[in-house]
Amino acid sequence: MMRMMRFDEICSSGALAALPLIRIELLRETSAEGGEEAPAAVADAALAWLRDHHAADIDLDELCSRTHLLFVDGSGALRDCGELPAASGDAPELQEYRRERERERATRRRDRFIATNLPDDDHVPSQPQSQSGAQSECTVIAARAGACGVTRAVVALRGRLAAARAAWRTGGADGPRGGRLAAEGAGQARAHMSVGRCAVGAAALGSRLVVCGGYDRVRVLRAAETYDPRTNEWTPLPDMKRARARFPAARLGNALYVFGGSDGQTELDSVDVYEENDAGGGAWRARAKMPLARSYAAAAADTSRGALYVVGGWAGGRSLRAVHRYVPDTDTWSETPPLNTGRSQCAGVVWEDALWVFGGCDTWNCIASTETLSLKDEGAVWVEGPPLATARRSVGAAVWRTHAVVAGGSAGAASLRDTAFLSRGDASWKSGPMLRRPRAAPALVALDDVLYAVGGFSGKEFLACVECLYETDGQWTTLCSLPAPASPLALDDQLSVHMQKEIVPQENGLSPQ
């Protein structure tokens, strides 16, 4: 018989992180009531809903491929938000979710028609399945509460183990209730930038976040502004020396460097640096030009060696393999080993004493590959790293809490919400919480132990909003502080273990419809 373990022990063993992850988010219509359900009941209800609605053709890989957005109605029944009737007040993310679900249903109808060679008729009944057979498809083995109202669970699907993550859509226990997404809940929201923009340069400078340049849909910008989390205010900085977008920025010491980019007409080779003085002011000044004019490059700072790297990019109608190293103390550039794959619109970080580059575009196509170059071994060359789960360009990247993190980006036809983490020694990326808004070309910056996603293109508009992540197993939120945590499980926070029995969650008002 399986030995019972505490959930924390399972997490610390790394076993849970290695499992496929089913992501579930729950909505209510208002935040006036609700959200007090026990974590086990939340997990049971959400997983029972999946079991009952997918038992006939359940596929673990398909279930893990997207976030399931469920609506809890007044009676406690769960419905997929993609099945709710459209209403004039629906939020953009709800509208997009409904469209995605309709595309999935159309794909299934087409595949069923091809497989069976029968007319594509929504009213053709599926093969009947006994209730006992359906219930055996998906069983919650263990569940418990985590930070920010997140319930984590281990489930069994047709003999395969998977992890599940069920959370109220707002990241707190008293989240919105229903088809129309309400305000995010109590608490002060992060202030917006002065203008929506994407393809910016951004970095943490001291105790503040600096964002500069980019596009506001109409023009390329020179404007720079800084965000202070202590006051929740954006304030303008001196304009850059020239307008630029599609460029990287990186901080080294007390200075912010911006490299190349595009002024809307041509690729740039110029480099500017912003340095603050003791009085709190600052100014931009020019530094040595790059050896090659380029846009859509990545940049990263090697703080231990006092150097910055500019990687890949776009010039002459093609994606580049070129990598250059800049030393501010001598204001000089040098070449380093080139990438194995030419890539533009990629992201880069220095992590674990190595230079990393993620995703991008190989001139024509989005790519999922990553590469890494050891910085401690002279003569090292670029080697292949763990590929991203989805091919993407214009992705945000940062180093946060010992992890390399990527978020957002574009798959070519759509802006993305995905977040993924890479830890030391991992052979693959682990899925993280979904961004609240799709963001292509966002700024992803770690500041004071908080991860920020700023700006970007949602697929419809240039964003001025800011969202942040406080815990790796939490949710992205627009709030300035952590929502109140959900109450722990009873029985001294032990695992809620359900072995050798069926789970029919009727308590606490939650039940699958």
Q: What is the pLDDT of residues 192-240, one digit of tens each?
A: 999 999 999 999 999 999 999 999 878 999 999 999 999 999 999 999 9
**pLDDT tens-place string over residues 301-313:** 999 999 999 999 9
**Would you say residue 4 has pLDDT above 80?**
no
CA-wise closest residue to 19 among 138, 169, 157, 171: 157
Distances (CA, A) of 258 to 291, 303, 390: 15, 16, 28
Q: How confident is the model at residue 97 (pLDDT cuts 50, 70, 90)?
A: confident
Contact 132, 113 (CB under 8 A): no
What does the buried/exposed string (b/e) look like for 289-315 if buried means 16 or more CB atoms within 10 Å of the residue's CB? Answer: ebebbbbbbbbbbbeeeebbbbbbbbb
Please say whether the dihedral angle defined by the alpha carbons of residues 101, 106, 110 and 112, taken in this order, is positive or negative: positive
Say which DSSP state 75 is in: T
Over residues 364-392, the mean pLDDT reads 95
Distances (CA, A) of 47 to 138, 175, 290, 298, 371: 7, 19, 54, 41, 37
**pLDDT tens-place string over residues 424-476:** 989 999 999 889 899 999 999 999 999 999 999 998 899 999 999 998 888 88
CA distance 55 to 58: 5
Q: How confident is the model at residue 35 (pLDDT cuts 50, 70, 90)?
A: very low
Contact 321, 338 (CB under 8 A): yes
The pLDDT score that the predictor gives to residue 74 is 60
CA atoms within 13 A on the CB side of 19: 23
285 burial via Cβ count (<10 Å: 0-12, 13-18, 19+): exposed
**Would you say residue 54 has pLDDT above 50?**
yes
The pLDDT score that the predictor gives to residue 493 is 36
Say which DSSP state 83 is in: G
% of residues, the chain, pLDDT over 70: 71
**Would you say residue 297 has pLDDT above 90?**
yes
CA distance 122 to 495: 42
Over residues 488-493, the mean pLDDT reads 33
**pLDDT tens-place string over residues 113-128:** 666 665 544 444 444 3
- 3-state secondary structure (DSSP) of residue 141: strand
| Helix (H) or strand (E) segment spanning residue 50 | helix 39-54
Distances (CA, A) of 60 to 17, 19, 65, 380: 16, 11, 9, 40
pLDDT: which is higher, 343 or 54:
343
| Helix (H) or strand (E) segment spanning residue 8 | helix 7-13
Which residues have a Cβ under 8 Å from the Cβ of 77 and sit 6 or more positions away? 511, 512, 513
Contact 52, 68 (CB under 8 A): no
- 3-state secondary structure (DSSP) of residue 105: helix
CA-wise closest residue to 199 among 353, 408, 489: 408
The mean predicted confidence, pLDDT, of the chain is 79
CA-wise closest residue to 361 among 298, 423, 299, 271: 298
Beta bridge partners of 399: 404
Which residues have a Cβ under 8 Å from the Cβ of 121 and sit 6 or more positions away? none
**Would you say residue 491 has pLDDT above 50?**
no
% of residues, the chain, pLDDT over 90: 49
CA-wise closest residue to 64 among 56, 73, 54, 72: 54
Residues in the chain: 513
The pLDDT score that the predictor gives to residue 222 is 96
The pLDDT score that the predictor gives to residue 421 is 96
What does the buried/exposed string (b/e) look like for 44-69 if buried means 16 or more CB atoms within 10 Å of the residue's CB? Answer: bbbbbbbbbbbbeebebeebbebbbb
- 3-state secondary structure (DSSP) of residue 434: coil
Beta bridge partners of 139: 156
Tell me the CA end-to-end span of the chain in Å, nearest whole number.
Answer: 33
Beta bridge partners of 446: 451
The pLDDT score that the predictor gives to residue 363 is 85
Please say whether the dihedral angle defined by the alpha carbons of residues 113, 116, 121 and 123, taken in this order, is positive or negative: negative
CA distance 403 to 359: 17
pLDDT: which is higher, 227 or 42:
227
CA-wise closest residue to 71 among 182, 179, 149, 180: 179
CA distance 351 to 424: 9
Among 96-110, 228-242, 257-271, 499-513, the minimum mean pLDDT is found in: 499-513
**Would you say residue 482 has pLDDT above 70?**
no
Residue 373: count other Cβ atoms within 10 Å of its Cβ: 21
Over residues 15-39, the mean pLDDT reads 64
Q: Would the pTM of this model clear 0.95, i.e. be above it? A: no
CA distance 230 to 191: 12
CA distance 184 to 170: 6
Over residues 175-204, the mean pLDDT reads 70
Domains detected in the chain: 7-184+486-512 (no CATH), 201-469 (2.120.10.80)
**Would you say residue 321 has pLDDT above 80?**
yes
**Would you say residue 169 has pLDDT above 70?**
no
Position 118, amino acid? L
